[in-house]
Structure 1
Amino acid sequence: MRYVRIRLDQPAWMRHPMQEFLATSEAMQREEMLAWNLSRDDVQFLLFYVEGDVDAYRERVAEVEQVRWCELSVVDEASFYAYACEEYTESQTAFFEPFAELRLVVVPPVVFDGNGDLLMTVVGRPTGLTTLVEDLRAVADVGVEVRRVGSYDRRHQRALGAVTDRQREALATATELGYYGSPREASLADVAAALGVAAGTASELLREAEANVMARLVGDDDGA
């Protein structure tokens, strides 16, 4: 069983209205689709974690025709959860059909960054993953970047549970840039720039995340 981690730069016509809002609004920073359930009534139920202005999000989502309802739960002044019910669209159906046909599984979370780009991890057979990437690259105006490919193994997910979403983002960004490479391919300043924060903030995020992960790996915590 293999996996591929990909980033998709989709044209505006292919994006969900809230994905486009994320890309164009200065009030929004990031969104993660944490879970989704399908129903028999041509609607889907979704749970998102969002970083940004909750009032701006509430105002915009109320205007999206396909969203039947959306409940927001504030975490703090900069983040909240969105629990939504929305109707399927033709573009969504067309996008996800190949995943079913190729017997592939999308592993949450599906991340939408501040540019509106979509990052996802897909698990399945090697031939199916290769075909998916080829098919996506064949679609006009879709940019496809393969971030990682390998054997799927989530045994260390327990360690990742020791960090916050923001710390996990810092670790992922640092890893992707080569900050933890040998030799090191990126500086702390590079990581800070990619995260859009000061170098001191990036350093604090990484230090706290590293401490939490190491404590969980060696069993020096209660696992809660």
Structure 2
Amino acid sequence: MAMLLATLVIDYPILRETLSRAPNTKVTWEQSDLTRDDTHQMLVWVDGDDEVAAFDAGLEVDPTVKTPLQVVDLDGRRLYQLELTDDGQRASVYPTVIEAGDVLQEVTATHEGWRFRVAFPSEEALEGFHAFFVDQDLAVELQQLHDGRELTNDSGSQYGITDRQREALVAAVDAGYLDIPRSCSLAELGQRLGISPNATSERFRRGVETLIENTVYPDAQSP
């Protein structure tokens, strides 16, 4: 199965109000969870030390998120655990991503909008993702589109993985996380990366999944 790798810039309403009040802040999505009681929680990294107060004040009035469940400061970066409001859940594309089997490789946001780098299993999945925003009258721009088997990148992400996913994979090998028996626990690996065990697991899983889909799996399916 050949993945389509696309980069899209979207006028996404999630955190729009917050970021408008902190224009020099950058948000990097880490993971999302849909809980059993139908709530949508997400972890995001926030960079912009000079605008902490403005960002936090924006969260208090943002119609798409509730007050942060937790904020952790790690080496100058802040990790926020947020829960979407009803308005936020209606605006969220994440359920569409899960249903279609899309892989969010890298998602970032500033006051200018959101940038999604996504691996789609088919053209239909890409069309469905694009249609989700069009149906809500949101501006969406497709900036790049590649066949996963043809993607090359001199930065070391030639297989479609992000720099942070590559960092997690390399750290896992160096630390002995893949050894039998393991020489490093998930918590210890997370300490190396400066993130939580859950975030480490998600980053490692996404990196392995993307690496397989863009290397071994497409080759195995070739005629």
What is the Cα deviation at residue 121 of structure 1?
1.2
What is the Cα deviation at residue 67 of structure 1?
1.1
The CA distance in 2 between the partners of 1:57 and 1:159, in whole Å, is 27
Counterparts in 2 of 1:63 and 1:160: CA distance versus 1, 3 Å = same
Structure 2 residue aligned with 1:40: 36
Structure 1 residue aligned with 2:9: 8
1:50 aligns with 2:56: no
Q: Is the 8 A contact 1:9 1:143 kept in 2?
A: yes
What is the Cα deviation at residue 161 of structure 1?
1.0
Per-residue CA deviations over 1:25-59 (Å, capped at 9, x if unaligned) read 34542101101111021212211111122222222
Structure 1 residue aligned with 2:66: 67
1:161 maps to which of 158, 167, 175: 167
Partner AA of 1:83 in structure 2: Q
What is the Cα deviation at residue 2 of structure 1?
0.9
User: Matched residues, percent identical?
Assistant: 12
Q: Is the 8 A contact 1:6 1:120 kept in 2?
A: yes
What is the Cα deviation at residue 64 of structure 1?
3.6
- What is the 5 A alignment of 1:169-184? none
Structure 2 residue aligned with 1:150: 147
Counterparts in 2 of 1:113 and 1:80: CA distance versus 1, 3 Å = same
Per-residue CA deviations over 1:157-208 (Å, capped at 9, x if unaligned) read 688418xxxxxxxxxxxxxxxxxxxxxxxxxxxxxxxxxxxxxxxxxxxxxx
Query: TM-score, normalised on structure 1?
Result: 0.54
Q: Is the 8 A contact 1:7 1:119 kept in 2?
A: yes
Counterparts in 2 of 1:156 and 1:38: CA distance versus 1, 3 Å = closer
What is the Cα deviation at residue 133 of structure 1?
3.5
Per-residue CA deviations over 1:101-157 (Å, capped at 9, x if unaligned) read 5x2323243211341233231321233224544664566351322323221645786
Q: Is the 8 A contact 1:136 1:144 kept in 2?
A: no
Counterparts in 2 of 1:56 and 1:70: CA distance versus 1, 3 Å = farther
What is the Cα deviation at residue 7 of structure 1?
2.0
1:125 aligns with 2:122: yes
Structure 2 residue aligned with 1:81: 79
1:30 aligns with 2:26: yes
Aligned length: 154
What is the RMSD of the two structures over their aligned residues, measured on CA atoms?
3.3
Q: Is the 8 A contact 1:4 1:150 kept in 2?
A: yes
Q: Is the 8 A contact 1:110 1:119 kept in 2?
A: yes
- Could you say what secondary structure the match of 2:53 adopts? helix
Higher strand residue share: 1
Query: TM-score, normalised on structure 2?
Result: 0.54
- Could you say what secondary structure the match of 1:84 adopts? strand
Partner AA of 1:123 in structure 2: F
The CA distance in 2 between the partners of 1:142 and 1:155, in whole Å, is 26
The CA distance in 1 between the partners of 2:101 and 2:130, in whole Å, is 12
The CA distance in 1 between the partners of 2:98 and 2:34, in whole Å, is 14
